[in-house]
Amino acid sequence: MSLTGGAGKERMLVFQWGVLETKSGFSFVTPHHAIVDLEGHVLNTLDRFHGFTNFDAASKKALRYLHENYGFALWMVTRTEGDDWIVLQVEDHGYEVKSGDVFRWADSFCSQMVLGNGPCIAPDSQVIPAYANALIGTQVSIAAYVGLPLTRPDGSLFGTLCAIDPSVQPDNIVNALPQFELIAQLLTTILELEIHSENEVRRAERAEAIAESDPLTGLFNRRGWDRLLKAEESRCRRLGHPASIISIDLDELKQINDCYGHGKGDELLVKAAELIRSNSREYDTAARLGGDEFSILVIHDQDQEALSLSDRLRESFTLEGLNASIGVGRRKPNGSLQEAWQCSDASMYEQKRSRKKQSQQIS
């Protein structure tokens, strides 16, 4: 008999035989099971009880346990971000919902549960007016519901642990509320620990990437940028963090190099880097990607910080007499930072073409 273990490794359930000696002197063999990997190595008790490495791993395990023990066709861990209701992890058996799917938060049963308009457990959700009238019910068949809030360290709503099923469930499912609450509280605790540790993790990542810096400006170079972008993408996928990328291109570097020499061009690059650094927040990542191109990774972009930062940069560049084209791309919940980068580049080049066209018309 085989089953899937942690870290994607296939494990096998086998029986071993041990000798049990009774007080009367009789002895016999009795089976007990053990977990072994595909190489036949028996995993001892400590191997099987390793703690979870992050919120993502804990969520997957919790959802599988909940489905196996309490049924329901769909269990999810979700995050709310504005009007987006983002699926982070899922245990799906019939709804065809996957991690990264995005629904409208206002349409969900969970939004009504958080507002106190419906209970955490509804064996027959259609008898609850707030659930019967929720628009999510017009998209998928829901006859039973479980939902509990997950919170951030400051007590604000992060998302939910929830389940739905197309069939009405037994009334006694409400007796499982203490168990559901315990699992939600444990997930919230793991989430809080991971959020608290994020800044320390980012410091360590930046320290590791410090050798990958541009010697002229002191910003990260392309290699360092790629390394840190990959690390942040992993966090975005696990926790649904909103993030954006700003692309910056200096408009006149080539002309300055040609007319005044590369020393003047270097001064322009250093000044641009100083303005980028002074306007960015501590944990935003700024890099010179080569030539006259810069990029900024804006993390935790809940309040459209990237748009505010791009406006501050335009103002600062103008005050210093620097001409630059700037574009912004926001990571979509079911997308990636690479796609956001492509969008910011496209926006930046469109602005560059527009500025060039205006300049030609004036001349």
Tens-digit pLDDT profile for residues 133-181: 999 999 999 999 999 999 988 899 999 999 999 999 999 999 999 999 9
Confidence at residue 76, expressed as pLDDT on a 0 to 100 scale: 97
Per residue, what are the HEC states of the chain? CEEECHHHCEEEEEEEEEEEECCCCCEEEEEEEEEEECCCCEECHHHHCCCCCCHHHHHHHHHHHHHHHHCCCEEEEEEEECCEEEEEEEEECCCCCCCCCEEEHHHCHHHHHHCCCCCCEECCHHHCHHHHCCHHHHCCCCCEEEEEEEECCCCCEEEEEEEEECCCCCHHHHHHHHHHHHHHHHHHHHHHHHHHHHHHHHHHHHHHHCCCECCCCCCECHHHHHHHHHHHHHHHHHHCCCEEEEEEEECCHHHHHHHHCHHHHHHHHHHHHHHHHHHCCCCCEEEEEECCEEEEEEECCCCCHHHHHHHHHHHHHHHCCCCEEEEEEECCCCCCHHHHHHHHHHHHHHHHHHHHHHHHHHC
Would you say the CATH fold of 210-362 matches that of 55-195? no
Looking at CATH, the fold of the domain delimited by 55-195 is given as Beta-Lactamase (3.30.450)
Residues 175-213 have pLDDT tens digits of 999 999 999 999 999 999 888 888 788 888 888 878 889
Confidence at residue 31, expressed as pLDDT on a 0 to 100 scale: 45
Confidence at residue 144, expressed as pLDDT on a 0 to 100 scale: 98
Q: In the chain, what are the domain boundaries?
A: 2-48, 55-195, 210-362
Among 3.40.50.300, 3.40.50.150, 3.40.190.10, 3.30.70.270, what is the CATH number of 210-362? 3.30.70.270
Q: Which residues of the chain have pLDDT under 50?
A: 1-33, 37-38
Confidence at residue 28, expressed as pLDDT on a 0 to 100 scale: 39
What span, in angstroms and rounded, lies between the C-alpha atoms of 165 and 151?
Answer: 24
Question: Among all chains, which residue has been given the structure tokens 């049963």?
Answer: 109
Confidence at residue 175, expressed as pLDDT on a 0 to 100 scale: 97
